[in-house]
Amino acid sequence: MRHANKNRKLSRSADGRVSLLRGLAVSLIRDEQITTTFAKAKELQPRIERLITVAKKDTVAARRTVASRLGEPTDAIVKKLFSIIAPKFTTRNGGYTRVVKMGKMPSGREEATIAFVE
């Protein structure tokens, strides 16, 4: 039974999933829009939205939390999240990202774009 197992496995081990989602989150913060499979985008969405909610506080503890959740990325990524992305959403109470289906990939998977809401 799958009680309390709501996340997708994405055909990876636990460490592989963590690495994949951290990489996708860093790419989304860096590029502000990425194209991936629909399942990966839907799995990334709640994680990146929690990071933005934490980043809206802009404290040292929040910076350390975000850095650890992103796997200790470069300082430029954390700085961009706190100084450019999070201030856009100070009056918004969630719903910071949008997932748009793009159609089928040649492999048969559903392709999607995830981007920050303007």
Output the average pLDDT for the chain: 95
Give the chain's domain count.
Answer: 1
User: How far apart, in whole angstroms, are the C-alpha atoms of residue 58 and residue 86?
Assistant: 9
User: How far apart, in whole angstroms, are the C-alpha atoms of residue 117 and residue 9?
Assistant: 27
Structural Rg of the chain based on CA atoms: 15
For the entire predicted model, the pTM comes to 0.92
User: How far apart, in whole angstroms, are the C-alpha atoms of residue 35 and residue 28?
Assistant: 9
Residue 27 lies in a domain: yes
Q: What is the CATH number of the domain that holds 87?
A: 3.90.1030.10
Residue 1 lies in a domain: no
Residue 85 lies in a domain: yes
User: How far apart, in whole angstroms, are the C-alpha atoms of residue 82 and residue 84?
Assistant: 6
39-64 average pLDDT score = 97
What's residue 73's pLDDT?
A: 87
What's residue 6's pLDDT?
A: 86
Residue 75 lies in a domain: yes
Q: How many CB atoms lie within 10 A of CB 6?
A: 7
User: How far apart, in whole angstroms, are the C-alpha atoms of residue 91 and residue 89?
Assistant: 6
What's residue 19's pLDDT?
A: 96
Reply yes or no on whether the pLDDT at 105 is more than 90: no
Reply yes or no on whether the pLDDT at 4 is more than 90: no
Q: Which of 6, 11, 8 is nearest to 107 (CA)?
A: 11
Give the range of the structural domain holding residue 100, as residue numbers without chain letter: 14-116
Residue 108 lies in a domain: yes
Residue 38 lies in a domain: yes
Residue 69 lies in a domain: yes
At 92, the amino acid letter reads R
Please give the structure tokens belonging to residue 110: 């559903």
Residue 65 lies in a domain: yes
